[in-house]
């Protein structure tokens, strides 16, 4: 791990984190192979679970899918340690996701337990966990459910929030970070499905390629995007560039993206690196805790780490 990534990691571990932020920190460390730290974060996530099984719950208790963001890394921690406390937490989280959580008639989990809402964030939080756990049909039911509800066919981008009960958008805006959640979820999902789901893998890769093609049209000259991708009056934001660069490098390494995307990934990565301050914080991401202005966030730190790992892995493959 390079010095810049080490600085970003120190900042991430110093930050206060909600359930999805804890999960994203775990995922970043998991992809870097830092399993000792993953296990520690997993233990804390399991310790802070609610009675109904939702992991890493602190401060926000209406979240349905966000606690599942710890899932893939938690599964890996269980496999590595065979620890009974971790396995108990894993089983409780699976029981929540598979049987207890509120969902639509089609079996698609709502984002909150206070209404019948689908958020694009949920594409990242839930389906990869279910796929990593081997519940492929349940993972795809949720993944396709969110996509169908939130994909805007007119522009090829993802909208943010849909009310399933009212049959209308709560927020139709094409939020940059939300599109990053969806894109990163597509990348993870196609990699977690086995060969017996080859057609679904191809379909999800096509979705990812389509979303990339639609989003890149809105990239600014400095390699950043607006907070709402197609609304220039919104602030310039860093994290979507990281999420997009991560996704492109993954696609290049795995061979399902054309090499013509390499320059775009590098340009986006360079733009994000320019936003690291002296302490290691990635600045001008969609800022926590309200995510309505530029700032810093655990998401921004974690996706910097994910991007840097994906870039390093791609570089290693090219050298062979």
Q: Which whole number is the average pLDDT over 161-174?
A: 96
Q: Is the pLDDT of residue 318 over 90?
A: no
Q: Which of 179, 182, 181, 189 is nearest to 72 (CA)?
A: 189
pLDDT of 197-232, one tens digit each?
A: 999 999 999 999 999 999 999 999 999 999 999 999
Q: Is the pLDDT of residue 104 over 80?
A: yes
Residue range 294-312, pLDDT digits in tens: 999 999 999 999 999 999 9
**Mean of pLDDT values over 66-73:** 98
Secondary element (H or E) of residue 23: helix 19-32
Q: Percent of the chain scored above 90 by pLDDT?
A: 97
Identify whether the C-beta of residue 304 lies closer than 8 Å to the C-beta of residue 1.
no
Distance (Å, whole) CA 265 – CA 259: 10
Give the 3-state secondary structure of 207-251: HHHHHHHHHHCCCCCCCCEECECCCCCCCEECHHHHHHHHHHHHH
Q: Say whether pLDDT at 317 is over 90.
A: no
pLDDT the model gives residue 60: 82
Q: What is the C-alpha to C-alpha distance for residues 215 and 152, in angstroms, rounded to an integer?
A: 12
Entry pTM: 0.95
Eight-state DSSP code of residue 108: P
Beta bridge partners of 162: 118, 169
| Token pair belonging to 101 | 């959580």
């Amino acid at each position: 791990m390079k010095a810049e990534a080490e600085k970003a990691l120190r900042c991430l571990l110093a930050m206060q984190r909600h359930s999805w932020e804890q999960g994203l920190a775990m995922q970043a460390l998991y992809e870097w192979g830092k399993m000792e730290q993953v296990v520690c974060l997993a233990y804390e996530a399991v310790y802070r679970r609610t009675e109904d099984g939702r992991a890493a719950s602190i401060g926000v208790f209406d979240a349905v899918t966000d606690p599942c963001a710890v899932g893939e890394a938690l599964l890996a921690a269980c496999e590595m340690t065979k620890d009974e406390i971790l396995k108990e937490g894993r089983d409780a989280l699976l029981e929540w996701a598979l049987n207890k959580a509120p969902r639509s008639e089609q079996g698609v989990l709502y984002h909150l337990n206070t209404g019948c809402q689908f958020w694009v964030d949920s594409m990242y939080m839930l389906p990869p966990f279910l796929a990593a756990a081997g519940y492929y049909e349940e993972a795809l039911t949720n993944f396709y459910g969110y996509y169908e509800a939130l994909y805007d066919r007119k522009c090829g981008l993802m909208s943010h929030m849909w009310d399933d009960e009212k049959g209308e958008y709560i927020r139709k805006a094409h939020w940059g970070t939300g599109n990053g959640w969806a894109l990163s979820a597509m990348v993870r999902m196609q990699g977690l499905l086995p060969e017996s789901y080859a057609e679904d893998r191809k379909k999800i890769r096509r979705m990812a390629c389509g979303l990339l093609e639609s989003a890149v049209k809105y990239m600014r000259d400095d390699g950043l995007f607006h907070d709402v991708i197609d609304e220039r009056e919104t602030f310039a934001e860093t994290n979507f560039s990281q999420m997009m660069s991560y996704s492109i490098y993954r696609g290049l390494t795995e061979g399902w993206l054309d090499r013509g995307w390499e320059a775009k990934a590098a340009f986006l990565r360079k733009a994000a690196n320019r936003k690291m301050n002296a302490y290691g914080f990635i600045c001008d991401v969609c800022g926590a805790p309200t995510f309505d202005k530029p700032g810093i966030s655990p998401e921004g730190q974690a996706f910097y780490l994910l991007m840097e790992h994906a870039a390093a892995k791609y570089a290693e493959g090219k050298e062979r």
